[in-house]
A and B are shown apart, each in its own frame.
Chain A
Amino acid sequence: MPDISVVLPSILQPLAGGQSILTAPADATVTVGSLLDTVTGGYPVLARRLRDEIGALRRYVNIYVAGDEVRRLQGLETEVSPGQEVLVIQSVAGG
């Protein structure tokens, strides 16, 4: 069964036990939301860094699927296929 990989920025890796990539087994397409549920299920602090308690993606957290940021697709309902790689990247925002 091919995996879906979620690549984390270095700043979040300590919250995933030091891993840079989290994987979820998938034999069909899944949504980004359910993918995050799966890969962060064992890492609740990491989960809160990405989404608030009502499940909304934090404003300056960007998630890319096939090169597109999910806000320009279907948000957390964006579908990801087995074998694809999902990137979590923080916005270059701040001062």
Chain B
Amino acid sequence: MATAENFVLAIGTKKGLWLATSQDRKQWSFSGPHFLMSEIPSIGIDTRDGRTRIMVGVRSEHWGPTVAHSDDLGATWTEPEQGAITFPEDTGAAVERIWQIYPDAESRPGVVWAGAEPISVWKSTDGGEHFELNRGLWDHPHRSDWGAGYGGAAAHSIVVNPAGDNVHVAMSTGGVYRSLDGGESWEPRNKGISAYFMPDPNPEFGQCVHKIASDASVEGRLYAQNHHGVYRTDDNGENWNSIAEGLPADFGFVMLTHPRREGTAWVVPLKADGERIPPDGKLAVHRTDDAGATWKRLDTGLPEREYNSVLRDAAGVDSSEPAGVYFGTRGGTVYASADEGETFAEVVSHLPDVLCVRAAVVSTAGLPVPETAAARGA
């Protein structure tokens, strides 16, 4: 008999954070809302070093952005006094929004990356309590040519290879940038990715990438969901090739990859540019098990009609076997699958717009159990 696992599901919305725990990924106990009336656009669940730390990017329309963390599943939150992410004075910049919180590899405990608006990458070596601005990207000569996507100008995806020397960052809008020296220097890597909305549709940079993710085990293989276009690179970003054939739409925001199995990725296609809804109002996740050669439509358990979109970070996977897949809509419904997307079930509905979803297998020994059902139907 398999050892019982405990799961935590963190749901960041436009008006606060909800946390849920489960032992079977079917019945969930909730706590929340945490940070009521602040949006939670980014969440990182760090299970390294024998503890569970939930880090959240918090942004209040009134009181601005900040980063907080909890080591007790949300029973208490800590906000570093001087702020975890604040621009150095010489930059003349101020943080608008934390878009990404990315715990690094198991082999580098304490290292956490963050992406923010304005376009910037940050690195913490103390478990996300204080971050340093990545000067290589901040001082990049392309900066003045980078633009803002609809949601703002931000670095929203960070992918670090197991050795820690290769770092890919995706920004809206600017495209994919790669560092081969752990983040010291950066070069654009967008060859093959179309920017049809620009005078030159194949520029060196300027692509509107929505999300990138690395393959579970093939070094140098990454996947990208773009503003029209789904791509894969097998050579560390040197060349990108379309893998959109077989999908009902090549637009979307989500790109997820399997925690262990090579070639497996999930997307949530949306029809665009004018509509931005699931094609024909029928919500479906699509999974590839062969690195994008073919796609399988997964909609068992999803509603007949759904006209809300799924945002770039409103989806996540856990590390269990089989892997869990989770996503939330702008209509405030969250779905979970305990079988890699074959079947989904509604976790909660009628929350505010879901901005970020993260899930993890955690140890709850010694931790308080979240209040039950505080969020269901909230």
Contact = CB atoms under 8 A, between A and B. Distances in A.
Contacts of A56: 94
Contacts of B60: 49
Interface stretch (A30-38, A63-71, A74-82, A87-95): A87-95
B81 A90 contact: no
Interface in A1-30: 12
A51 to B, nearest CB: 9
A83 B93 CA distance: 35
B92 interface: yes
B81 A60 contact: no
Contact of A58 (B62, B92, B93): B62
Given A52-B95, A53-B86, A58 B64 contact: yes
B27 interface: no
Chain A interface helix/strand/loop/mixed: loop
A53 B62 contact: no
B246 interface: no
B81 A53 contact: no
A59 B86 CA distance: 18
Interface string B258-273: 0000000000000000
A73 B89 CA distance: 26
Contacts of A50: 63
Contact of B64 (A49, A91, A93): A49
Chain B interface helix/strand/loop/mixed: loop
B354 to A, nearest CB: 17
B116 to A, nearest CB: 12
A60 B37 CA distance: 14
Contacts of B184: none
B87 interface: yes
B63 A53 contact: no
A60 B83 contact: no
Contact of B94 (A44, A45, A53): A53
A61 B83 contact: no
Contacts of B81: 44-45
Interface in B305-347: none
Contacts of B62: 49, 58, 60-61, 90-91, 93-94
A58 B63 CA distance: 7
Interface in B57-97: 60-64, 66, 79, 81-83, 86-87, 89, 92-95
Nearest to B93: A54
A56 B64 CA distance: 11
Interface residues of B, number: 18
A45 B95 CA distance: 15
Interface in B223-260: none
Contacts of A94: 37, 61-62
B79 A45 contact: yes
Contacts of B82: 44
A54 B118 CA distance: 14
Contacts of B89: 53-54
Contacts of B94: 52-54, 56
B83 A44 contact: yes
Contacts of B66: 45, 48
Nearest to A55: B94
A65 to B, nearest CB: 20
Contact of A48 (B64, B92, B93): B64
Contacts of B92: 54
Contacts of A91: 62
Nearest to A48: B83
15 contacts: A12-B63, A44-B81, A44-B83, A45-B81, A48-B66, A49-B60, A49-B62, A49-B63, A50-B63, A52-B95, A54-B89, A60-B61, A61-B62, A61-B63, A93-B61
Interface of B: 37, 60-64, 66, 79, 81-83, 86-87, 89, 92-95
> Which 8 A-B pairs rank lowest in CB-CB distance, beginning with the nearest?
A52-B94, A49-B63, A60-B62, A53-B86, A90-B62, A44-B81, A54-B94, A53-B94
Given A44-B83, A49-B60, 15 more contacts: A12-B63, A45-B66, A52-B64, A53-B86, A53-B93, A54-B89, A54-B93, A54-B94, A58-B63, A59-B61, A60-B61, A61-B62, A90-B62, A93-B61, A94-B62
